[in-house]
Amino acid sequence: MAEISIVVPVFNEQENIRLLTDSLKKALVPLNTSYEIIFVDDCSTDQSLQIIKDLAGSDTHIKYLTFTRNFGQQAALTAGLDFASGKAVITMDADMQDPPELLPEMICEWEKGHDIVYMHRKNRHDGLFKKLSARFYYFLLSKFSDRKISSNIGDFRLMDQKVVNELKKLHEKSRYIRGMVSWMGFSHTILDYDRPNRSNGKSGFSLLKMVRLGMHGILNFSLLPLRLGLVVGVAVIILGFLLLAYIVLDTLMNDVYYELHKWLGVVTFIFTGFLFVLIWILGEYIGKIYDEVKNRPVYIIREKGNLE
C-alpha cells in the first residue's frame, strides 16, 4: 500500500505526460515516502496511452487505467479514486497547470490533521469570457446550493483515505466530484496558488464539456432551477396586479383608453419563453432520474497496468 496516491485523468496530453511524471517524482522522492501515480486515460486519440505504458513498463510506481470509450473527466477521476490505495490521495490535471512542486506543502497540511486540502486558484490566466462565466457560475452555486462550494477551486486537492472511502459510497451517475467532496463536510484547509498557463498541447475541456459539468453542479447541489418557477410565477402575479392597478387608475383619472390585446400579446409571448425554459429544466431533472434508475456503471475499463 502506498502512502501517497496521485490520480491524473488524461485526454490527449502526449506533450505533458513525461514532463508531469518527472516533476511529480522530483517533488515526491525527497519526501522519502512510498507513492503511486495512477494515470487514467479517457480514450485518448494521440500517443498519450503509449507514453504511459512505456513509463509504467520501466517504473512500477507508474500505474494506469484506460477506458473503452471517452467517459469524461469526472468518470476518470472516479476510476482513479476507486483504485487508489494511498493513505492520502491527490487528484490533479495532466496539463501542468496544477504545479507538482506544491505537493509537499499539501502533504504537510494533511499531516497536521486536515482531512482535505483544497487548492484555490488565486490568479487565473484565462480569457475574459471564461473568467466572467466562472465567476457568475460560482456565484449562483454558492447562493443557492445546500453546501458552500468555494469559487476557483477545481479538482486539484488532497483527500485523506477516509474521505475517499466515504466518497466511494456515493453512487450517483451524474457526478460533480468537487461538490460531492464539499457535501461530505470533512475538516479542510485551503491553500492559494497561482495557476500557470498551459505551455504544451491544447485543452480537451471544450465549452460544451464545461457547460455539462456546470449543469451537473447546479442540478446536483442546488434547488435553484426548481425554485425558479415559483420566483417567476410570483413576479408575474405581482407585475400583473401592478399593471392592472395602473390601468384602472389611469382610466378612471385620465380617461385613457388602452388596447390591452397588444400588451397581452407581448407579455404572453415573453412568458411562453419562460415556460419553455422551465419545462427544459424539469426535463433535465427527469433525465438525471432516468440515468440513476438505469444504474449503468460510471466507466468501463479496457486495460490496466501495474494494478491488481
Residues 23-46: tens digit of each pLDDT: 999 999 889 999 999 999 999 999
Most confident of 110-124, 172-186, 234-248: 110-124
Which residues have CB under 8 Å from 216's CB, separation 6+? 74, 174, 175, 176, 179
Question: Distances in Å between the alpha carbon of 43 and those of 13, 134, 205, 243?
Answer: 11, 27, 14, 58
Domain 4-204+298-305 in CATH 3.90.550.10? The answer is: yes
Q: Which residues contact 4 (CB under 8 A, 6 or more apart)?
A: 28, 31, 33, 34, 35, 36, 86, 87, 88, 89, 90, 103, 107
Where are the chain's structural domains?
4-204+298-305, 224-294
Asked if 126 and 53 touch (Cβ cutoff 8 Å), the reply is: no
The answer to whether the pTM exceeds 0.85 is no
Name the range with the highest mean pLDDT among 53-62, 144-153, 209-218, 243-252.
Answer: 53-62
DSSP state string for 125-166: ---HHHHHHHHHHHHHHHHHBSS---TTEEEEEEEEHHHHHH
The three cell numbers locating residue 139? 456565484
